[in-house]
A and B are shown apart, each in its own frame.
Chain A
Amino acid sequence: MTVRGEVVLDVDGLSVGYVRRDGSINTVVDSVSFQLERGTILGLAGESGCGKSTTALAAISYRAPGSRILSGRSQLQGVDLLGLSTQRLRRIWGSKVAYVAQSAALALNPALTVGRQLSQPLAVHLGLHGSASRARQVELLESMGLPDPARALRRYPFQFSGGQQQRVALALALSCKPDVLILDEPTTGLDVTTQARITKLLRGLVTDFGLGCLYVSHDLALLATLADRLAVMYAGEIVEAGAAGAVVSKQRHPYTQALLAAVPSVRRPREVVGIPGRPPTSVVLDACAYAPRCRYVLPACRTGRVAMRDPGDGHAARCIRLEEIEKLPALGSELAAARPGRDVLLEVDGIVCAYTGAEGPAVNGVGFVVHGAERVGIVGESGSGKSTLLRAIAGLHRPQAGSIRLGGIELAPTAVKRPRSVRREIQLVFQNPDSSLNPRHTILDIVARPIRLFRDDVPRARERETVQELLDAVKLPSGLLYRYPAELSGGQRQRVALARAFSAKPSLLLCDEVTSALDVSVQATILELIAELSEQTQTAVVWVSHDLAVVRTIANRALVMRDGEVCEEGETDELFAAARHPYTRELLAAIPELLPA
């Protein structure tokens, strides 16, 4: 029988680089060490580009195209994986070491039935065929909690929901009873309730199978509730590591502290604090990588590499001031609440939206009002109809029934048919700035367009100046006017999208998952910005999101949508503190939470 605590994978001093076009090496992961123990989950947290996925793959000796493992060891029960030939690795991958990627939809072969896909590793690694293989397949799907496993085996991946697909992918990974399980953002993109079910399942599997599990995620709150131990990465290095509870409750690295301060919460409306600046693009070898962004920086931080230091309780950090940092109070305070006016700005009544070919309507008789300068959140899981509702208000989706009134005036169903003044007053910000900013237009073109269309008060000669003022207002550095969106970071692009929306001087800003594609530290800065700008300009905001904590942070009133209908509505403070509808309660219970209740 397996022993909990036995080290199954021992990674020591792992460094990985990518080969540049000129042949030189760009080191992206440096001297990363960790151990995976049986029956425990190690959470590897960090923002995009910090090297966490590269680390996870390199630890099992998988080299992403263009990457090179520069040094280090990764011992699986005494055998160094990094020195093995591809042939020998193939025998270990899938049998002793399993990997589950973020998108099960991409990891599963759409042309093969689930049964066919499960039979392959069983035949290759365990030599199981025929009825023995089938029995094991059924057993596997059963342990993943999939209903009717015998039937599921005959179905194709697309016939399953996203959460079920991820269960199938887990079954595939665990088919040969591996010792090590590597998960890379396995629940990112799934609904919270689905995520909660998957992580609960995973916790049980890790214990039952005695797996050594590495769980890579950007979601600190999730890792804090799921993982036993937690390692935080920044710029290719682990900056803090320890028991998950210890890392979350008393951070010893300023980056961890700042990261936690950026995480919004459903428990109380607190100000989320963004991290200024951007992470370095490769490993910093001669100084503390976080020094340029650190609020506690000392001259010594810039002159030499800082080593991981453990004061003796198994909770180490890469900071020369770690004893002081842990005693500092957490960042973040109450957020300035919206001050809604008394006049009704937007009135939505009995909206029904359907897509041709869909079974039921996507939005089924939704009605609500937005007052001037109010911030209303609409939360719901995927398929709840929240985005369609927003598109209908924006005039991008023609509703089958219902009415939309702005300032008491009935609006035409399509934007083209609405008068210019209405189109000016309603502005839209999308989820993904990659897609919402035309890649062939300069920032100036993008932001100036609504000005030319809607702002009679700005003469042509003053357009450029006005655009620059807007870019300043969204806190973008100067000199971006003639740049293209691809030259900007994700957060900067979303700021451009905001500048474009505010350039028309709207009275109503429609936001569709505006921060969902962003890192949590960037999300915090965007939330700060939207709160500030909407406050200053007295603009009402309708904020659509799947993320309840974000809605809690930004909105003063919220609607919970499910299957095209509003199931609960109320002031955010009351709604989140004492939800009445069972679905709202289910949603709230599913959310991993950093703050104590």
Chain B
Amino acid sequence: MTTTSDVVGLTTAEVVEEEGRPPAAWRAILASTEGRIGVGIGAAVLFVIIFGRFFTPYPPNAVGIGGATTGPSAAHLLGTDSLGRDTLSRLLVGGTHIIVIPLIAVSLAWLLGGTLGMLGAYRGGTVDAVIARGFDLVMSLPPLLIVLVAIAALGTSNLVLVLTIMVVYLPRMGRLVRGATQAVITNEYVAAAQARGERTRAILFREVLPNIMAPTAADFALRITYAVIFVATLNFLGLGVKPPNADWGVMVADGRGYINLAPLGTLAPAAAIALLSIALNLIADALTQHVTRGGREIVPL
């Protein structure tokens, strides 16, 4: 339904938008320029991350394939690192971590934090106090500290990374959902459901959830961006991926000592990280704009 509103209007406040079905988040993203650019860049980066492994000119972990720390050449388009490994090959395989870990961690944080946030907002009272103060407690700890302590205690592994990043983002996402839910539950359709005697679960997932999807989806996209940068930071600090496996964060860290000799060894993975986060940011932006317009605008497709 893309009927534009032709309203015999009074003041703008009284103009009733005769809107169609609120467009899906995806359509909203594709309708805006930044959304389309974001999706374009994101698709390209994602293609490299997923299929790059099949196009590597050399084995990515093979030491001494070329000379140590060389600049670009015909044989090695992006040069080689200090151990003589081919930078292009390592770039093509080094992106997996940086996207998969944030995706899983943020999804988990969204599911758990969102459920807790909705429950707290709906139940109120003690339940809400416990959940909200719990969120505050975790948020009062610096994210890097949480990760450092966890890695120091448990060692580094993908599971530890996913769980710690989830712990970092859970209260932040839960908070947003809690706020959105508080606004939604004042609506009379929630009272109508209560009068029908619906269970809490049915009210939260049937009545509330569809109405808070838009703002939380925007938040989700934004959190992924942060998490990508966070994982890159951890890898840069040597807390994530173990050598010799290639990773963009690790490559930036390893290559920066030789930036004069082989600048692309640092710049290429840095650019890849930047492109990925820019793409995600643009998508998040498009979503946010869609949400702040209240999803009222009818997006022509």
Does B64 sit at the interface, judged by CB under 8 A? no
Partner of A235, one of B8, B21, B187, B188: B8
Does A432 sit at the interface, judged by CB under 8 A? yes
Residues in chain B near residue A265, CB distance under 8 A: none
CB-based contact A423/B196 at 8 Å? yes
A28 to B199, CA, bound (A): 47
CB-based contact B10/A428 at 8 Å? no
CB-based contact A430/B188 at 8 Å? yes
Residues in chain A near residue B17, CB distance under 8 A: 486
A176 to B21, CA, bound (A): 49
CB-based contact B14/A53 at 8 Å? yes
A382 to B15, CA, bound (A): 27
A-B contact pairs, 24 of them (CB 8 A): A20-B4, A26-B6, A49-B7, A51-B8, A51-B9, A53-B14, A54-B11, A66-B12, A67-B9, A235-B8, A282-B7, A396-B191, A415-B194, A420-B197, A427-B195, A430-B192, A436-B188, A436-B192, A438-B189, A440-B22, A484-B22, A486-B19, A486-B20, A487-B1
A441 to B210, CA, bound (A): 9
Nearest CB to that of A497 among chain B residues? B192
Chain A nearest CB from B167 CB (Å) reads 31
Category for how many chain B residues contact A: 20 to 34
Does B211 sit at the interface, judged by CB under 8 A? yes
Residues in chain A near residue B9, CB distance under 8 A: 18, 26, 28, 49, 51, 54, 64, 67
Partner of B195, one of A54, A57, A394, A484: A394
CB-based contact A423/B197 at 8 Å? yes
CB-based contact A450/B1 at 8 Å? no
Does B136 sit at the interface, judged by CB under 8 A? no
Residues in chain A near residue B192, CB distance under 8 A: 428, 430, 436, 500
CB-based contact A49/B207 at 8 Å? no
Does A91 sit at the interface, judged by CB under 8 A? no
Residues in chain A near residue B11, CB distance under 8 A: 53-54, 57, 64
Partner of A440, one of B7, B15, B211: B211
Does A162 sit at the interface, judged by CB under 8 A? no
Q: Mark B13-32, 1 if CB is under 8 A from A, else 0.
A: 01111111110000000000
Residues in chain A near residue B1, CB distance under 8 A: 487
Partner of A487, one of B12, B18, B199: B18
A389 to B1, CA, bound (A): 41
Nearest CB to that of A419 among chain B residues? B197
Chain A nearest CB from B22 CB (Å) reads 8
Residues A414-442 near B (CB distance < 8 A) = 415-416, 418, 420, 423, 426-428, 430-432, 435-441
Partner of B211, one of A21, A64, A438, A487: A438
How many of A's residues come within 8 Å of B, CB to CB?
54
**Residues of chain A whose beta carbon lies under 8 Å from any beta carbon of chain B:** 18, 20-22, 26, 28, 48-54, 57, 64-67, 235-236, 279-283, 391, 394-396, 415-416, 418, 420, 423, 426-428, 430-432, 435-441, 449-450, 453, 484, 486-487, 500
Residues in chain A near residue B189, CB distance under 8 A: 435-438
Q: Mark B33-73, 1 if CB is under 8 A from A, else 0.
A: 00000000000000000000000000000000000000000
Given contacts A279-B8, A391-B191, A486-B19, 8 further A-B contacts (CB under 8 A): A53-B11, A54-B11, A64-B9, A281-B6, A418-B197, A423-B197, A431-B188, A486-B22
**Residues of chain B whose beta carbon lies under 8 Å from any beta carbon of chain A:** 1, 4, 6-12, 14-22, 187-189, 191-192, 194-199, 207, 210-211
A279 to B16, CA, bound (A): 14
Residues in chain A near residue B197, CB distance under 8 A: 395, 415-416, 418, 420, 423, 453
Nearest CB to that of B298 among chain A residues? A21
Chain B nearest CB from A236 CB (Å) reads 6
CB-based contact B8/A283 at 8 Å? yes
CB-based contact B191/A51 at 8 Å? no
CB-based contact A438/B210 at 8 Å? yes
CB-based contact A48/B188 at 8 Å? no
Q: Which 8 A-B pairs have the closest CB atoms?
A: A440-B210, A53-B10, A436-B188, A438-B189, A430-B188, A435-B188, A423-B197, A28-B8
A441 to B194, CA, bound (A): 17
CB-based contact B14/A416 at 8 Å? no
CB-based contact B10/A21 at 8 Å? no
A416 to B196, CA, bound (A): 8
CB-based contact B196/A48 at 8 Å? no
CB-based contact B10/A52 at 8 Å? yes
Chain A nearest CB from B3 CB (Å) reads 8
Residues in chain B near residue A54, CB distance under 8 A: 9-11
CB-based contact A423/B207 at 8 Å? no
Chain B nearest CB from A271 CB (Å) reads 29
Chain A nearest CB from B214 CB (Å) reads 10
Nearest CB to that of A428 among chain B residues? B195
CB-based contact B195/A435 at 8 Å? no
Residues in chain B near residue A65, CB distance under 8 A: 12
A236 to B10, CA, bound (A): 10
A57 to B191, CA, bound (A): 38
CB-based contact B21/A450 at 8 Å? no
Residues in chain B near residue A418, CB distance under 8 A: 197
Most buried by A among B1, B191, B197: B197
Residues in chain A near residue B187, CB distance under 8 A: 435-436, 438
CB-based contact B6/A21 at 8 Å? no
Most buried by A among B9, B187, B199: B9
CB-based contact B21/A487 at 8 Å? yes
Chain B nearest CB from A269 CB (Å) reads 30
CB-based contact A281/B7 at 8 Å? yes
Nearest CB to that of A500 among chain B residues? B192
Chain A nearest CB from B49 CB (Å) reads 34
Nearest CB to that of B210 among chain A residues? A440
CB-based contact B191/A487 at 8 Å? no
Nearest CB to that of A62 among chain B residues? B11
Chain B nearest CB from A47 CB (Å) reads 10
**Known: A48-B14, A415-B196, A449-B196. Is A280-B191 also a contact (CB below 8 A)?**
no
A486 to B196, CA, bound (A): 23
CB-based contact A396/B194 at 8 Å? yes
